[in-house]
Structure 1
Amino acid sequence: MSGIHLAYDLSFTHTEGRWNQPGAWVGSDFPDVKMFLELARTAERAGVDMLFFGDGSGIPSTWRGSIEPAVEWGIQWPRQDMSPIIAAMSTVTDHIGFGLTYSSTFMHPFYVARLLNSLDHVSGGRIAFNVVASSRGADAANYGYAQLADHDQRYERMEEFIAVCRALWDSVSPDAIERDRATGRFADPAKVHPIDHTGEFFTVKGPLSAVPSPQHHPVVVQAGNSPRGVAASATFADLVFGFGGSLAGQQRHRAMLDAALVDEGRDPAAVGILWATQVIVGRTAAEAITRRDTVLDFWTHEAVGTMLSHNAGYDFSTLPESFRLGELREEIIAANASPAGFIGALVTELGADTVITRDEFFEHGFLAASGLDHTVIGDAATVAETLEQNHADTGARGGFMLSSPLAMPSAYAELSELLVPELRRRGALAPRYPGSTLRENLAV
């Protein structure tokens, strides 16, 4: 069994009421870079492999067609472009990696390939690129789209996007740069070449106007868990970001990915999944439960509806008093929104033919919006044992993307000071920073 790799998901350190939780910063708040510098140092001391930042560029507006609930209560906003924060964190650390998210649905591959090359230089080879196919109308509107493209087409665009990025990273050979002081020759022109890409979505001349970076190719992460998303993962992902929740769902995802990797001629043992797992850890089990209870007060009906509607791309305020789950899923698919995530999990759990009431739907939705459907709660020993068992049960390839519903920075400091040392004491973790780059440390 391979050792567990750990990342911290810092996508929402300040939203959904975390800024107001006990243990939050006083006199400083997001996006103050000092908060993240402190967290990066603490996480590296613990031996965490990567700090990860998801992203979205639109303020949630699907619920009731308005941004007001999200703005009023701080639901999945504000969100900054975290590339400058990552650059700053890299200067106060030596080993820990950084995951950055951009959307292949809206961004251009030349820009992203050049930016990631630059960040890989700044960090000394510690950058991962989380590529996403956007499913949110609020994001699309900010890039001039009246509606989202078809679900499968977004993944076709993603596959071409990554192919272009990789061609650009390869367009300047690692040994092209000579810097010959005797002759004054800087580089060998024969080793710098255009890519001349003309595809369905992009036309890119190339080459990349940059020096090859330490990793040459940043680690590529992908999180799609629909059948089409899994197929995309199998074609190019070095590492997969998987959704937590039920063990059965995780095992299905692992089996689907393994089959797709074999079809692509890739070794399933070489592609790990980091499972999204929310953790509340205390010095005692009672302390952890008390901390969980502080989270519950935030999740009103309006907050749950705003969160679920934004992530699914479908306005759940329009639900009738009762409905069949399969019909709801078909409506979401027809709207080119996201039939996976919460809706996919609910259909898997209850069945497509199940008739559910609006109130029952939101009872399930409360668990999904708050993350309590994939939260491990307890003292360090209890949480560590749960993670070890889950790692074994899902194939022991990858690890966990840990998040917390509690305050920044105290929640992550406690993960670093209580949970990670317990896992290391048990011998459950992968070796601590065995290489000089993130790719080497993750063994991908």
Structure 2
Amino acid sequence: MLKKLGLLLFISLFLSSPLYADTGVVTTETVDMLWVMIGSFLVFFMHAGFALVESGFTRAKNSLNIITKNFLTISIGPIVFYLIGYGLMFGDSFNSLFGSNSFLLNGVDDIGFFVFQAMFVATCATIISGAVAERIKIGVYVIITIAMTSFIYPVIGHWIWADGWLAELGFSDFAGSTVVHLTGAAGALTVVLFLGPRLGKYTKGKINVIPGHNIPMGALGVFILWLGWFGFNGGSTLEADPTLVPMVIATTLMASAGGLLSTVLYSQLRFKQIDVSLALNGVLAGLVGVTAGTAEVSIPGAIAIGLVSGVILVEGITFIDRVLKIDDPVGATTVHGLSGIWGTLAVGLFSVESGLFYGHGLSQFLIQGLGVLAVIAWTMISVGAVTFVITRFTSIRVSEEEELIGLDISEHGSSAYNFNDTFSSKEAIQPSGAFELADRLNQLTESKAT
């Protein structure tokens, strides 16, 4: 009985709140605000997913370090965006290049829009965290995060989502395949090239397995990211449109499902086994792929985008790891980078409003390609310049001894788990009889050699 009374009291308080106009009718503005705020909450929750994916896909001795980086990102990002980034992104345009006012939200009335965008800027920055895991100094990561959220990401956002030159050309990126994901991936790749691979990853031309310590944890992280993406894409409508929102949610769901299925089937065909870590990343690849065109493509188009994203994921990770020898512990450069490129270009093919497959010619596709090249160039040059300057003053990488001990101990003086064994070998530790993705890549290399 008390529980029922409490519930009735809660409902009565809600109904009498300022969310309702004097007439007792919910206003359109209130519903739109609530929808954007729900989207903001879901995008915020995605950072829990990132933390779990990155921790699970890497070694236990670095878990606290990864968790710390994710907490720092979601805290630094909104503050820096408030101080500088929002103005550069959404202020009055200076020659279609960047915003020139609205710093510290001066003159900004729509605080809800700022909150939603602040979640996005942090999401872009945290993509770098997974790619550089297990070897970057945490102070260096903080500096790069500040650079990403203060001017690197906001400039791209202005080009595409405000009054920038790409927006004027008609470039389309509804929820951020390019603005968020490709930008984050290009920044991640740049820093990884400076860092180099983890100790023991590549020895004598062989790809060594450095297994993640908790794949079920990573799987839970993927489910959280999957859930959050409905707010990521759905909230980007910026209004509770009863026609548009369900379609965006539907295309998001179907593309992610397609990404998982094609990854499972293609990895079975390619390696004769279903690789679970690839399958989990396949979901994310499908989500990244559809994010640019989620409001413009049909459900069959979304499925097609997801199916292609899964194949790109498998081949992309294979190429980056086996051929380029670039060590990305969580596959961020492929998931967010190559899938982001594909999703952006796919708008020019599958958009019912401007796509080639709907009789609108190649114009949109070419504009999308130009935008991709511009974003990659700006991000890699600017992140490269920031990282290079840092290297003039200090090493960006922890020492060999610190890396072997683990960043939890060397950077934080503690550990996430109680270890019985000490990591002391430069060689990656692989359980006896393990047969993982790197082994398959090595087999491909050996078969080609023979």
TM over 0.5: no
More strand by percentage:
1
Return the TM-score normalized by structure 1. Answer: 0.27
* TM-score, structure 2 as length reference: 0.26
